[in-house]
Amino acid sequence: MKTISENACFGGTQGVYSHGSEATGGDMTFGLFLPAEAKEGPVPVLWYLSGLTCTHENAMTKAGAQAHAAEQGIALIFPDTSPRGDGVADDDAFDLGKGAGFYVDATQDPWAPNFRMWTYVTEELPKLVFDSFALDPERQAITGHSMGGHGALTAAMRLPGRFRSVSAFSAICNPTESDWGQKQFAAYLGEDRDAWAAHDATRLMDEKGFDGPMLLDTGTADQFYDLLRPEALAAAIARRRQQATLRLQPGYDHSYFFVSSFIGEHVDFHAEALYA
């Protein structure tokens, strides 16, 4: 692992690091905020999964999460959204290829050799960070925005017992029934729709649910609202009687202005679960 940068930040350290990845077959970069408490011992962790076109840097510099995490003594991890490099397959569209890994392990060419973001985010990167930094693996929570909200919700439901809480901003809630999902799943996973089900938060809610609190925010002026399908997840939550808070925020769109407006409430929500 190589240190790219480390900066003092709200009494702690905002670092950026790179490492070779077996999962993606190349170098990967991630951001990690460590609060001051990490100097004394392992601290709780909040994972932040980013959306389409983003790298590790977008949320790290735009969400404003560090100030709130520092107040709560929580670390923040910002993974990248896809493999990178000259030899990695790509597409001219912004919603496929680099920056659009969708947190799945691709099985189809030309994506399969590198696009294994599920394994990277749920197995490889956690092992690296917990082996290398003062982080508490018994106190983890997860959040994300848009495609990252989809990733956070599916990880929380597919990995029971790992995350104490889950939240999302503008999540892609029902990708198997949306153009943000059908296109990518067909490319990465093939035409067998049964293989898509494990990456659909609405279907996972019906099948598994989540053993903990959930918080979901979506803006009423979100320009991609029809692609997100929050109403489908809301219906599944109601059917399952899942513990959850779903909020439609009047006038907010899909941007980081929306995320930064409510990130403090999300960090506080996770802190309550992480310190319970």
Q: What is the pLDDT of residues 124-138, one digit of tens each?
A: 999 999 999 999 999
Cα separation, 249 vs 150, in Å, equals 19
Q: Which of the residues 68, 222, 266, 270 is marked catalytic?
A: 222
Q: Cα–Cα distance between 83 and 81 in angstroms, integer? A: 7
**Quick one: tokens of 27?**
């170098």
Q: CATH homologous superfamily of domain 2-267? A: Alpha/Beta hydrolase fold, catalytic domain (3.40.50.1820)
pTM over 0.85: yes
Determine which one of 21, 50, 82, 146 is catalytic.
146
Residue 216: the pLDDT is 98
Confidence of residue 223 (pLDDT cuts 50, 70, 90): very high
pLDDT over 70, % of the chain = 100
Which of 56, 145, 199, 254 is the catalytic position? 254
Radius of gyration of the chain (CA): 17
Task: Examine the residue annotation and report whether 222 is marked as an active-site residue of this protein.
Answer: yes
| Residue 179 among the catalytic residues | no
172 closest CA partner among 160, 163, 181, 164? 181
State the average pLDDT over residues 61-70.
98
Annotation marks residue 146 as catalytic: yes
